[in-house]
Amino acid sequence: MRAYFFSLRILACLAIWFAVCSLSCRSKSPEEPEAEAGEPNTPAASDADNIAVTVNGVGITEGEIEKLIAPQLAKIAKQAAQLPPAFAVQYRKQLREQILERLVCAQLLEQKIKEANIAVTEEEVMGKVREIASSQKEPLSLEDFRKKIEEYGLSFEDVKEDVRRGLSHEKFMDMQWGGKINVTEDDAKKYYDENPKRFETPEQIRASHILIKPALADPNADPNEAKATAKAKIQELLKQIKDGADLAELAKANSDCPSAPDGGDVGFFPRGKTTPPFEKAAFELEVGQISDIVETEYGYHIIKVTDHQDAGVVSFEQAKEGIIKQLTEDKQREFANEYIESLKAKANIVYSALKNQGP
């Protein structure tokens, strides 16, 4: 589902404006008072309806901001618990400022979209949803996609609304920069010639592996016994492989790595991108060769190298399409940044004087 959440995040954050806001919507709100260290100042439920800012007369409430802050704070809850209390206070403050300004940008665009009578049909929404579903590493049907969404605690109708909103923003921005952004092959060649390092490719290998982790979740468990049990299991798996068993099938059934569903495939990687013992063992193997047992800080591995690529240089013809796409997107971001700034300059944006919601 990782690819899905990447795609959905782009749409849910409204592909165009979210990228724009990260550049143009720097915080310009008045200074907020510092909270006492260790007090994250989460808004009370009674404060949720308080207006944080009005944008051309349309209010954005503290509740709307908090709805977006909460999931972000939840993601770092475990790490934050081990850091000084002041960290949580400062992080919440910065996060609130960023989200507030992104909502301002979103509201400005929503108002312009409404004026432009941009419409997105149900067919367009469902077409994009099907596109997201089919673009997963393991393509999903629409029904399976719906089930996955619900498994992650999301509403399919909310997802559709996020998609609808994202498509409306795309349509609107396409209207704004239509005919104004042009990247030629000469532009791409100039970029290619001026950035030779970007098109050098290091030596890479592709590998699959089985990982068996010692069971150390139980604080009362004997670490030495857990390691011995894990090692015995990996030794038995290595014996099966030497007797003709398929590593990929054994990885699917036994590996403790997230790559297990893919038969242990971790894709291509160069030197310096994985833990040293794993890298050393993997780069010493020939394609098709299987390692002995390799111990790392994660546990015990059996590694198989499945492909190898020598260091080289990507030719201009190979890189041209990607360069043109990148330069076009760069120009679109620059254009969108300037457009948002022009909207902000003309807008009536009033921040609430009630700045007691904490950072």
207 is written with which tokens? 């590998």
Question: For 163-204, how does the pLDDT look when each residue is reduced to its tens digit (9 = 90+)?
Answer: 998 999 889 999 998 888 999 999 999 999 999 999 999 999
CA–CA gap between residue 195 and residue 329 (Å, rounded): 18
Q: Which amino acid is at 331?
A: K
**Confidence (pLDDT) at 359:** 40
Residues in the chain: 359
CA 351 to chain centre: 31
Give the integer Cα–Cα distance in Å for 201 and 193: 16
Q: Is the per-residue pLDDT at 147 higher than 50?
A: yes
**Domains of the chain: which residue ranges?**
2-180+331-351, 203-310
Cα dihedral angle (340, 179, 111, 51), rounded to 10 degrees? -20
Angle among Cα 1, 275, 227 to the nearest 5 degrees reads 90
Query: 98 vs 355, which has greater pLDDT?
Result: 98
How far is the C-alpha of 212 from the C-alpha of 302, rounded, in Å? 9
Say which residue, 218 or 312, is predicted with more confidence: 312
Task: Give 278-347 as a 3 state SS string.
Answer: HHHHHHCCCCCCECCCEEECCEEEEEEEEEEECCEECCHHHHHHHHHHHHHHHHHHHHHHHHHHHHHHHC
Mean pLDDT for 101-111 is 92
pLDDT digit string, tens, across residues 42-69: 555 457 789 999 999 999 999 999 988 8
Q: Is the pLDDT of residue 4 over 50?
A: no
Summary mean pLDDT of the chain: 84
**pLDDT tens track for 288-331:** 999 999 999 999 999 999 999 999 999 999 999 999 999 999 99
pLDDT, tens digit (0-9, with 9 covering 90-100), for 230-261: 999 999 999 999 999 999 999 999 999 999 99
Confidence grade of residue 280 (pLDDT, cut at 50, 70, 90): very high
Render 176-226 in DSSP notation, one character per residue.
HHTTT----HHHHHHHHHH-GGGGEE--EEEEEEEEE-----STTS-HHHH
The architecture CATH gives domain 203-310: Roll (3.10)
What is the per-residue pLDDT for 35? 37
Q: Which CATH superfamily includes the segment(s) 2-180+331-351?
A: Porin chaperone SurA, peptide-binding domain (1.10.4030.10)
Q: Would you place residue 139 in the very low, low, confident or very high pLDDT band (cuts 50, 70, 90)? A: confident
Does the predicted model carry a pTM greater than 0.95? no
Q: What is the mean pLDDT of residues 77-103?
A: 83
Q: What digits encode the pLDDT tens for the residues 15-44?
A: 333 333 333 444 443 333 333 334 445 555
Q: What pLDDT is attached to residue 52? A: 92
Task: Tabulate helix, strand, coil % of the chain (nearest 5).
Answer: 55, 15, 30
d(CA 245, CA 129): 40
Return the sign of the alpha-carbon dihedral for residues 302, 305, 311, 313.
negative
Instruction: Quote the pLDDT of residue 80.
Output: 67
pLDDT of residue 341: 93
User: What pLDDT shows up at residue 42?
Assistant: 52
Q: Over 70: is that where the pLDDT of 355 sits?
A: no
